[in-house]
């Protein structure tokens, strides 16, 4: 068990985003999260790496157990964020060189030996399937890459601090289908090394990749089970069937 979420509640002011959800994420699985807009998917991820702290006016309760600690009461959020990586929906190349984009997190963590950084940059860019395209222009700007390349750069940056859990928040909404497929292959390979939480609007993407899938709706878990069941003709909840098949949502 990597993550144990128990009775997690989150409200922005008076508006409840998560209404007491509990679930476990297993080691080295791809855990899919699906649900319509406003169902609490992104809010859940923000709780996992505590970037929810940056949002003013929230109330938060419940526990998230990770490596024996309660994430929500942890003081050292910076170490937490290195262990739980996050890829945002829109690709963000930082305004620095491709090399520095990937070396940024290790440097923040105090690593400065050029040889070590070189090794990390190459490993992460290879893992993110970007190395062959950029290996000859590492000093050029990360912001000058195409959208699909920047999203793979973002993934490489998230891998650079060797997270145990990698969260991806609708990583494919701004990139083309071919790049999406390449990144999906990358994720299948990464599964051997880490746990992946895949939040997606594309039901088919969760069906293709996820071992288990959770269907969130209106801040509550409608269904959580093996993808083979959730995406079958007979899931536990009728609403799951309707959402997956585009009848509501």
Partner 1 sequence: MDAIAPPVTRFARTPGVARRERLQAVAKWVFFTMALAMIVPLVAIVVYLLVQAAPSLNWEFLVEVPKKGMREGGIWPAFVGTLYLVAISLAIAAPIGVLAAIYLNEYSRESWFNRVINLAVINLAGVPSIVHALFGLGAFVYAARFGYSIISASLTLAIMTLPVIIASTREALASVPMSFREACWNVGATRWQTIRAVVLPNSISGILTGVILQVSRAAGETAPIMFTGAVFFKAVQRGDWFPYRLGDQCMALSMHLYTVSTQVPNVRESIPYATAVVLLGSVLLVNATAIAVRVWLRGRKKW
Distance of alpha carbon 229 from alpha carbon 227, whole angstroms = 5
The rounded distance, in Å, linking the Cα atoms of 88 and 129 is 18
Among 43, 154, 195, 227, binds partner 1 (CB under 8 A): 154
Number of residues in contact with partner 1, rule: CB under 8 A? 30
202 binds partner 1 (CB under 8 A): no
Closer to partner 1 by Cβ: residue 8 or 86: 86
Nearest distance in Å: CB 243, partner 1: 29
Q: Which of 122, 124, 127, 176 is nearest to 147 (CA)?
A: 176
Please report whether residue 86 would count as binding partner 1 according to CB under 8 A.
Answer: yes
d(CA 235, CA 230) in angstroms, rounded, equals 5
Q: Beta partners for 32?
A: 198, 213
- Binding of partner 1 at residue 129 (CB under 8 A)? no
Q: In what order do the strands lie in the sheet with 3-12?
A: 15-25, 3-12, 58-66, 69-70
Coil, strand or helix: which one is 42?
A: helix
CA 201 to chain centre: 13
With respect to partner 1, which residue has the nearer C-beta, 41 or 161? 161
By CB under 8 A, residue 33 contacts partner 1: no
Nearer CB in complex with partner 1: 167/244: 167
User: Is 137 a residue that touches partner 1 (CB under 8 A)?
Assistant: no
Return the number of the residue (170 or 223) whose C-beta is nearest partner 1. 170
List residues near partner 1 by CB under 8 A: 49, 51, 54, 56-57, 78-82, 85-88, 90, 92, 94-96, 104-105, 108-109, 141, 143, 154, 157-158, 160-161
């Amino acid at each position: 068990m990597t993550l144990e979420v128990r009775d997690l509640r989150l409200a922005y002011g008076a508006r409840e985003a998560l209404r007491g959800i509990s679930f476990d994420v297993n080691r080295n699985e791809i855990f899919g999260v699906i649900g319509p807009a406003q169902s609490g998917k992104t809010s859940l991820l923000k709780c996992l790496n505590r970037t929810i702290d940056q949002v003013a006016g929230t109330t938060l309760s419940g526990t998230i157990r990770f490596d024996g600690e309660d994430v929500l009461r942890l003081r050292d959020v910076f170490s937490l964020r290195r262990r739980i990586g996050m890829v945002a929906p829109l690709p963000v190349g930082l305004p620095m060189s491709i090399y520095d984009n990937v070396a940024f997190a290790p440097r923040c963590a105090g690593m400065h030996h050029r040889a070590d950084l070189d090794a990390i940059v190459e490993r992460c860019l290879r893992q993110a399937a970007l190395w062959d395209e950029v290996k000859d222009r590492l000093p050029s700007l990360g912001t000058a890459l195409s959208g699909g390349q920047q999203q793979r750069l973002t993934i490489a940056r998230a891998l650079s601090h060797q997270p145990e859990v990698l969260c991806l928040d609708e990583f494919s909404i701004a990139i083309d289908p071919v790049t999406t497929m390449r990144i999906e292959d990358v994720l299948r390979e990464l599964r051997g090394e880490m746990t992946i939480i895949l939040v997606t609007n594309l039901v088919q993407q969760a069906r293709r990749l996820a071992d288990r899938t959770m269907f969130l709706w209106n801040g509550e878990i409608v269904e959580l089970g093996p993808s083979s069941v959730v995406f079958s003709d007979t899931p536990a909840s009728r609403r799951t069937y309707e959402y997956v098949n585009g009848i509501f949502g």
